[in-house]
């Protein structure tokens, strides 16, 4: 198993996150979607949980870099790659909603409802956990539109 080395705060393996109907388990670096478990890279788990701790809030790329990679040099392409991989996995969810919204040149915003449950080393399927209120997050950041004039 990989060692958690992010500089912001260590992942607590006893807490399982549910993003909509997706179980995020940092203890075994996995996502469970529709009763299928996907083992994923540590950095993907760290990004998902970081976003899950701030649902509906803008998380800038610089903030992600500092929290997940610390002093390690990582370019914007690396972050974009991980977000794309996370989105591919989230597409397997039957909820069919867009979970991570990109705010161009700013960062990302998690748009799905989030729950945290103390796991006590037991993996639970989403059907066995208590229901949550259906709260969908809207991003609290407004994007200014730029208008361009065509030069014909």
* pLDDT, tens digit, 9 for 90 and up, residues 6-41: 444 567 777 899 998 899 999 899 999 989 999 999
- CA dihedral for 35, 38, 44, 46, sign (positive or negative): positive
Rg (CA), the chain: 16
d(CA 119, CA 150): 56
* pLDDT, tens digit, 9 for 90 and up, residues 59-101: 999 999 999 999 998 888 899 999 999 999 888 777 655 789 9
* pLDDT, tens digit, 9 for 90 and up, residues 108-140: 999 989 998 886 654 555 455 444 444 445 554
Q: Where are the domains of the chain?
A: 15-128
Structure tokens that stand for 73 in this block: 């040099």
Could you say which of 3.30.70.1560, 3.30.70.260, 3.40.50.10710, 1.10.10.10 is the CATH number of the domain covering 15-128?
A: 1.10.10.10
How far apart, in Å, are the Cα atoms of 46 and each of 95, 133, 140, 141, 149? 22, 25, 22, 23, 42
Give the three-class secondary structure for 67.
Answer: helix
d(CA 15, CA 17): 6
d(CA 97, CA 87): 11
């Amino acid at each position: 198993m990989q060692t958690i080395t992010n500089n912001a705060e260590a992942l607590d393996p006893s807490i399982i996150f549910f993003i909509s109907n997706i179980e995020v388990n940092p203890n075994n670096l996995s996502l469970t979607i529709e009763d299928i478990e996907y083992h994923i890279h540590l950095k993907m788990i760290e990004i998902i949980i970081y976003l899950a701790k701030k649902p509906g809030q803008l998380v800038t790329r610089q903030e992600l870099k500092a929290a997940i990679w610390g002093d390690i040099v990582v370019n914007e392409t690396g972050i974009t790659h991980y977000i794309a991989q996370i989105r591919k996995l989230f597409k397997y969810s039957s909820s069919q909603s867009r979970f991570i919204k990109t705010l161009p040149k700013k960062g990302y915003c998690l748009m799905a409802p989030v729950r945290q449950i103390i796991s006590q080393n037991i993996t639970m399927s989403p059907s066995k956990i208590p229901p949550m209120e259906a709260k969908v997050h809207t991003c609290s950041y407004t994007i200014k539109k730029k208008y361009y004039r065509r030069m014909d």
